[in-house]
Amino acid sequence: MNSPSLIIALCTHNPRPEFIAETLAALRNQTLPATDWELLVVDNASTPPLAGRLDLSWYPRARIVREERLGIAPARVCALREFTSGSADLLLFIDDDNILAPDYLRVGLDIAAREPALGCWGGQLLPRFLAPPPDWIGPFLKYLAVFPLERELRLDHFAGDYDPVPPTAGMFLRRAVAARYLAQVTAPGRLALGGDARLRIGGEDMDLALTAIDIGFEIARLPPLVLTHIIPPNRLTEEYIATLLRGASAGSAILSALRGVSPELHPDWRRWLLRLRARRLPPRSRRFLEAQLDGEVLARRLLRRHPLPA
């Protein structure tokens, strides 16, 4: 067989069988010839292991690798190392609850050929809710990886705006970007982003995408790329959203500091005042504000523990 031009990395931990079955079925239905891509499943400490339980017999270019360190960042680093050790030009990250449109791979490769200035790009993320979403969820959908696009979003320098930065769900990445990220990912500050499943600090996917800008590429979200994200009822609760807000607040502060943008952290007195005022808010609003403030406290503690180079 000839070497494929694209590797698809599916990172998963104890996936729901019905979800990952749909993810794999969408790959099987891609219009891009199967000779042009390879499927890499990163089993992130699933119990029991996925080897022997996941049916990949339909595709000869599929393989499973095991990453024992639990956490999305270690799983993605494993995928990046597999990618850079081979000869493929592009990597595509997907999750075990993502359903790619049938032309997703073909459109992504066309973009790669047509736009060499892009180092990292993704598309629009549409939801499939398995239960009716609550009426208050709208402002928080982007934290659930739901991001429809009416127009393309592009970025060639970072000044704190995260909307044009694609998450790893449906993210295409060039080899040079992956290599640079791997060279720097062991820095102490970066280890906090997505590296501890208990802390659940976000931002590792943003850090990976923004590495493209570090080495002179642009990044973008482009409407022709369409991915559907399956969202079960347990992700539509106040408790789950509060956890996401805490992790996003901590992650964005650490990520800004890593990239030379002063993180917008409230001073202690101001944070205390906000908590005091939050007591007068409705319960949901209070819970979400306190989660974001807790994220700031966590970020400040981690940044003090691992000061960043001047």
- Average pLDDT on 199-215 reads 87
**Tens of pLDDT along 92-107?**
999 999 999 999 999 9
Q: How confident is the model at residue 178 (pLDDT cuts 50, 70, 90)?
A: very high
The rounded distance, in Å, linking the Cα atoms of 298 and 246 is 9
The rounded distance, in Å, linking the Cα atoms of 310 and 307 is 9
Instruction: Tell whether the model's pLDDT for residue 120 goes beyond 90.
Output: yes
Nearest to 82 by CA among 20, 194, 4, 28: 4
The reported pTM is: 0.91
Cα 80 to Cα 18, 120, 241, 265, distances in angstroms: 26, 14, 29, 32
pLDDT confidence of residue 72: 87
Instruction: Tell whether the model's pLDDT for residue 213 goes beyond 50.
Output: yes
Instruction: Tell whether the model's pLDDT for residue 4 goes beyond 70.
Output: no
Q: How confident is the model at residue 1 (pLDDT cuts 50, 70, 90)?
A: very low
- List the domains of the chain with CATH numbers: 6-232 (3.90.550.10)
pLDDT confidence of residue 46: 96
Percentage above 90 pLDDT, the chain: 65
